[in-house]
């Protein structure tokens, strides 16, 4: 069974803080993704990575950065959190060449 | 520009009846489609998929139909059960490249009434 875990289920931060969201997968998947889910907007891709130290911008990368130092771990960084980054953040992984992505449980981030 | 659209934000169905969730897409390069189911406070889970070389794929109570000429796919759930109540997302992908990015629709909230 593929398992994708995220470091926190709920997080509350203040405006301007630097925020780290961690994601770990245990199935040796090459591809990892970060999405945010907002009501009425579905899942929107922030960043993805297809290999260690490789990253590509998704559809809404502004205000975010990522880090992938090890194959199993993909971190999302909010350099200076803002209230419009309050959202559900979802991490996913997939095997190279396969479409099916496996998702973690999500992190509900609130920025005050 | 929304390439994958789910025009019905919500759907209510009686237990035992058929649920039909619809999805439209605009990009003719999409050649693989997936449906995900999401409960509140959980991540989406894969439900069923279909390649563009097929027009139907069935898995138990779930069937996905693809109409390429209309750029339309639908998910049928028969019979619907209260445990099917969730948000359903359709997603599309175009092959090529290692990452197989998915483009998601906005989701449809299905409520199955007992």
- Tracing tokens 């992505």 back to the chain, one arrives at A101
| pLDDT at residue B99 in the model | 62
- The total of other beta-carbon atoms located within 10 Å of residue A103's CB is 23
Residue A106 has pLDDT above 60, yes or no: yes
Q: B65 is written with which tokens?
A: 């139909």
CA B18, CA B35: separation in Å to the nearest integer? 17
Task: State yes or no: cis peptide before A73, omega within 30 of 0.
Answer: no
* pLDDT bracket for residue B101 (50, 70, 90): confident
- Tracing tokens 């992984």 back to the chain, one arrives at A93
Strand partners, B112: B13
For residues B47 and B39, the answer to whether their CB atoms sit within 8 Å is no
Residue of higher predicted confidence among B101 and B1: B101
| pLDDT at residue B8 in the model | 95
User: Using one digit for the tens of pLDDT, what is the confidence trace for A74-83?
Assistant: 999 999 999 9
For residues B35 and B49, the answer to whether their CB atoms sit within 8 Å is yes
Taking all residues of chain B, what is their mean pLDDT, rounded to a whole number? 93
| pLDDT at residue B100 in the model | 76
Residue A47 has pLDDT above 90, yes or no: yes
- The total of other beta-carbon atoms located within 10 Å of residue B82's CB is 10
Residue B97 has pLDDT above 60, yes or no: no
> A53 touching B, CB under 8 A?
no
CA A78, CA A46: separation in Å to the nearest integer? 11
CA B32, CA A111: separation in Å to the nearest integer? 36
Report chain B residues touching chain A, CB-CB < 8 A: 6, 9, 32, 34, 36, 41-46, 49, 89, 91, 93, 98-102, 104-107
Separation in Å, CA of A31 to nearest CA in chain B: 6
Number of H helices, E strands in chain B: 0, 11
> A38 touching B, CB under 8 A?
no
Q: Looking at beta carbons, which residues of chain A come within 8 Å of B43?
A: 4, 90, 92, 103-106
Residue of higher predicted confidence among A16 and A51: A16
* Cβ–Cβ below 8 Å for A106 and B41: yes
Q: Give the number of A-B residue pairs with CB atoms closer than 8 Å.
A: 63
> A90 touching B, CB under 8 A?
yes
| pLDDT at residue A53 in the model | 87
For residues A17 and A112, the answer to whether their CB atoms sit within 8 Å is no
| pLDDT at residue A99 in the model | 83
């Amino acid at each position: 069974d593929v398992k994708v875990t995220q470091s926190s289920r709920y997080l509350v931060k203040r405006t301007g803080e630097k925020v780290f969201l961690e994601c770990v997968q245990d199935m040796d998947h090459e591809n990892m993704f970060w999405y945010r889910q907002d009501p009425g907007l579905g899942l929107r891709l922030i960043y993805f990575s297809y290999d260690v130290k490789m990253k590509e911008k998704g559809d809404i990368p502004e205000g975010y950065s990522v880090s992938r130092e090890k194959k199993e771990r993909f971190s999302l960084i909010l350099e200076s959190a803002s209230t419009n980054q309050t959202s559900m953040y979802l991490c996913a992984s997939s095997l190279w060449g396969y479409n099916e992505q496996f998702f973690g449980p999500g992190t509900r981030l609130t920025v005050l | 520009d929304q390439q994958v659209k789910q025009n019905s934000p919500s759907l209510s169905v009686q237990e035992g009846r058929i649920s039909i969730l619809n999805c439209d897409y605009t990009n003719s390069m999409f050649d693989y489609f997936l449906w995900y189911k999401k409960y509140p406070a959980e991540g989406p889970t894969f439900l069923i998929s279909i390649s563009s070389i097929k027009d139907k794929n069935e898995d138990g109570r779930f069937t996905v139909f693809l109409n390429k000429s209309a750029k339309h796919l639908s998910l049928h759930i028969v019979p619907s059960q209260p445990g099917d109540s969730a948000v359903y997302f359709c997603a599309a992908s175009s092959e090529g490249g290692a990452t197989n990015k998915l483009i998601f629709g906005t989701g449809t909230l299905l409520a199955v009434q007992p």
